[in-house]
Amino acid sequence: MKTNAETTVGGDKYLNYNCWLVKNLNYAPYRRCQYCRYRFRNCLFLQYQIVSVALAVIILPLFFLVEGKISALAIISVFASITVFGYFFNKSTEKIIKAQFAQEQATQKLKELSDMLEVKVEDQTQDIIAKNARLEKLLQVRSEFLDVASHQLRTPVSMIRGVLSMIRDGDLEHLPRDKQAQFIENAWQKGAKLDIIINDILAASEFDTQTFMVDSHTPAISLEDVVDQVVKGFQLEAERRGIELVWRPPKKRLPRVKGRVNFLEQAISNLISNAFKYTPSTNMVKEARSRRDKKGMVEVTIRQVRQDIVVGVSDNGIGIPKEEIKKLFEKFVRASNATAMYTDGSGLGLFIVREIVEGHHGKVWAESELNKGSTFFISLPIASN
């Protein structure tokens, strides 16, 4: 058998094992069987065999008729012509078979390419769907955020304008002296609050344009370092307010978490800032007298709990009623007992914390006891390599 590439087109896998010639002769005339595997009647080899047999069957008897016997010459010449015929038959069918094979190969390649393309398109589609989902979530976060922000801004603005409108209308003069003073003081306080709200909104909107969601590209960072930096930043204010700020860094390095330093700094900063607001402080003017005797303390802790790193920020302030804890992280709610004290919050702080922590696949929650204090916890999963 010739085995060079040109003649054994396709090789073994093109054998038609249903061909009785292959089966019975145990013979693999490759070049024929590539064609034969389609139809028995299309088997060129068989056709060749039939023609050869026909030749022999017709010509030999002719010889016999002419010469009265079948001479050796007759037999030799018949088989010689069959062989020669076979050779030329071979050559011509080879071309057909090669062409067939080339076409098959082309079809096969086309199918492969088409399958590959399908897979690629499917991948791209999935990618687009995932990106779309993320964009939708971002848009939703942004729209929620705008709702919160616009409401928070409108509240003090409406108060200030309300007071001014009454002054314009000349109503203020008709009020008793002490009420007039309170009026102006309220507007003043709301003005101060407006400034804080605007700063919070700007900070939060900066985050809004970037991504909140942690993904495989997010680096692994050391959470205790982040907390350390933030606590250091609050030391001056703690002194000013007469609050004891306690931070005990862990003795051993804790496992890292996946996250962005600036976001986590903001989240922890918001919690500590809140704790300062609701902790008794010797410098707070509007506080109840009893509160002033208690020294304000804010404690920041960090530890590993199973597969998470948990940061806790505790204060010894007024506490939060249990029913209200869950709602704290929602848009507008401040705990009911918070309004009794002087609070300069924008109402956005915890909302931002929740968005950041959830974007980091973490959890945030609070525990509290009325008049004893509250602790806010952030838990982030340890980065898996």
Partner 1 sequence: MRIYGNPMDTKLTILLIEDDPDQIFLYQSKFELEGFGMLSARYGSEGLKLAREQKPDIILLDLVLIAENGLDVLASMKKDPLVKNIPVMILTNLERDDAKTKAKELGAVDFLTKANMMPSDVVRRIREILKK
Residues in contact with partner 1 by CB under 8 A are 147, 150-151, 154-155, 157-159, 161-163, 165-166, 169, 171, 174-175, 179, 182-183, 186, 189-190, 323-324, 327, 332-336, 339
3-class secondary-structure state, position 85: helix
Query: 261-278 and 349-359 are packed helices; what angle lies between their axes, rounded to 10 degrees?
Result: 150
Nearer to partner 1, 96 or 175 (CB): 175
CB of 196 to partner 1, least distance (A): 16
CB of 348 to partner 1, least distance (A): 14
CB of 154 to partner 1, least distance (A): 4
CA distances for 123 relative to 61, 64, 128, angstroms: 71, 75, 9
CB of 150 to partner 1, least distance (A): 7
CB of 165 to partner 1, least distance (A): 4
Chain-centre distance of CA 229, in angstroms?
A: 30
Nearer to partner 1, 120 or 327 (CB): 327
Nearer to partner 1, 123 or 147 (CB): 147
Length of the chain, in residues: 385
3-class secondary-structure state, position 288: coil
3-class secondary-structure state, position 247: strand
Nearer to partner 1, 173 or 293 (CB): 173
How many Å apart are CA 69 and CA 58, to the nearest integer?
14
How many Å apart are CA 371 and CA 326, to the nearest integer?
18
Residue 42 phi/psi, 5-degree rounding, is -90, 0
Nearer to partner 1, 4 or 339 (CB): 339
